[in-house]
Structure 1
Amino acid sequence: MSEKAYRPRREDFRRFYTLGTRWGDHDSYGHVQNVVYYSFFDSAISQFLVEQGTLDIDSSPVIGLIVESSCTFFSSITFPDQVTVGLRIAHLGSSSARYELGIFRNDEAEVSALGYVVYVYVDRASNKSTAIPELVRAELRKLTD
């Protein structure tokens, strides 16, 4: 018998964003499609970076590119549920950051899904890896444990 995977709780995350599900998000099985969870991840991370003034989508000279991602599903979400995405930084390297994201259904305390996204920061013009700018690093530190 395998051990049940740990399900983080809301208090395990540092920042939160609430998103609504849409009618077209669910599939014929009646739950939100797996690919939509990755959209939730991307929306929360991008919103955080824009709010902090660390990302100008059109002109930032250094941008983060996703090089790895994963998601573990614990329970279903469906329309018209509200989704809260919790963010935290699990690892902050010189040119990369690993975001961990919890997807919470309505007011539930435990995640419905747990994912991670690894960003590598690159120079927009050359697409070559570069150090995370200090302004970005300072904001990302706010999401660490």
Structure 2
Amino acid sequence: MAETGIGRRDGYGHFRQVPTRWMDNDVYGHVNNVVYYSYFDTVVNLYLVHAGGLDFAAGPVIGIVAESMCRFRKALAYPEVIDAGLRVGRLGNSSVRYEIGLFRAGDDEAAAEGHFVHVFVDRESRRPTPIPPAMRAALAAIAVPLE
């Protein structure tokens, strides 16, 4: 994710619509800042389940969030349906950095951008473990080229 400038829709390889909910708004009439992280988590984990074969309930490998960040650009509010863009900025042996852009319908500039890092661990030992092949292939499919 570029550290300067506003992210653009064409910079993301995967999109998922995420509806805002009435309870997402705060007393100021916009989505509360903490809810943006929930949107990030939703788009990432849906991708992992559907494209990468993640079995979060019983699989031997799980992802633990080691880092997260969000940069707020424009307010979002209920009732909106957000286009959540997802890409992989870095794919390591046992970790991945996801980059997420939240877009209003029809907007090319992100209302919010962020990232989070998953470290994949063995479910029982909680020790880092290589990303499973099917999941690695799904992540590689939306990875941005190294600069």
| Normalised TM-score (structure 2) | 0.93
The letter for the 1-side match of 2:115 is Y
Q: How does 1:21-60 map to 2 (within 5 A)?
A: 21-60=20-59
- Per-residue CA deviation, residues 80-113 of structure 1 (Å, 9 max, x unaligned), is 1111110000000111000000000122110000
* Deviation of 1:53 (Å): 4.5
The letter for the 1-side match of 2:58 is S
Which blocks of at least 5 consecutive residues in structure 1 are unaligned?
Answer: none
The number of equivalent residue pairs is 142
- Per-residue CA deviation, residues 7-57 of structure 1 (Å, 9 max, x unaligned), is 111110010000111111111111100111000001101110111242112
1:14 aligns with 2:9: no
3-state DSSP of counterpart to 1:128: coil
3-state DSSP of counterpart to 2:70: strand
Q: How does 1:66-145 map to 2 (within 5 A)?
A: 66-145=65-144
3-state DSSP of counterpart to 2:38: helix
Give the 3 Å change call, closer, same or farther, for CA 57–51 of structure 1 in structure 2.
same
Q: Alignment identity in percent?
A: 44
Q: CA RMSD in A?
A: 1.2
Runs in 1 of length 4+ with deviation above 3 angstroms?
none
3-state DSSP of counterpart to 1:76: coil
